[in-house]
Amino acid sequence: MTPTILIAEDEALLRLVAVETLQESGYRILEAGNGEAGLALLKSDAKIDLLITDVKMPGLTGYQLAEAGLKLRPEMKIVLMTGYASEAIPEALGRASIKILYKPFNFDELSSLVEKIMDRPLDRA
């Protein structure tokens, strides 16, 4: 079964390129332009294996989205995207399955990280 990834990112261009990159790698993608939309998807019946979220978003932050997501879907894997190298993961999120992807990153880095997390070779058709 194809893994499903939810990308929550308020920067439309970054979200678009991330979505296209991971779709080309064979993943099913759900996208949200803010934390509130991401939370609505997490509360839905949609299958979500991985949450990729920007840390700094207006309204519901990526940290808050990740915390809520773990309560709703404890088995879900999480990638936090941040432009701040000194960013510390809040204690509530201190899990080994949470990875941090530092901005700026290239999209090969994103694909490789997702491939490792999902333990699935990329579909490089």
Q: Is residue 124 part of a domain?
A: no
**Into how many domains does the chain fold?**
1
Q: Is residue 123 part of a domain?
A: no
Determine the pLDDT at residue 99. Answer: 87
The residue type of 109 is E
Question: Are the C-beta atoms of 83 and 103 separated by less than 8 Å?
Answer: yes
pTM (2 d.p.): 0.89
Q: Is residue 125 part of a domain?
A: no
Which CATH number fits the domain that encloses residue 16? 3.40.50.2300
Determine the pLDDT at residue 95. Answer: 60
The answer to whether the Cα torsion of 94, 105, 69, 58 is positive or negative is positive
Determine the pLDDT at residue 87. Answer: 59
Per residue in 20-67, pLDDT (tens digit) is 999 999 999 999 999 999 999 999 999 999 999 999 999 999 999 999
Structure tokens at 12: 């439309």
Strand partners for 102: 82
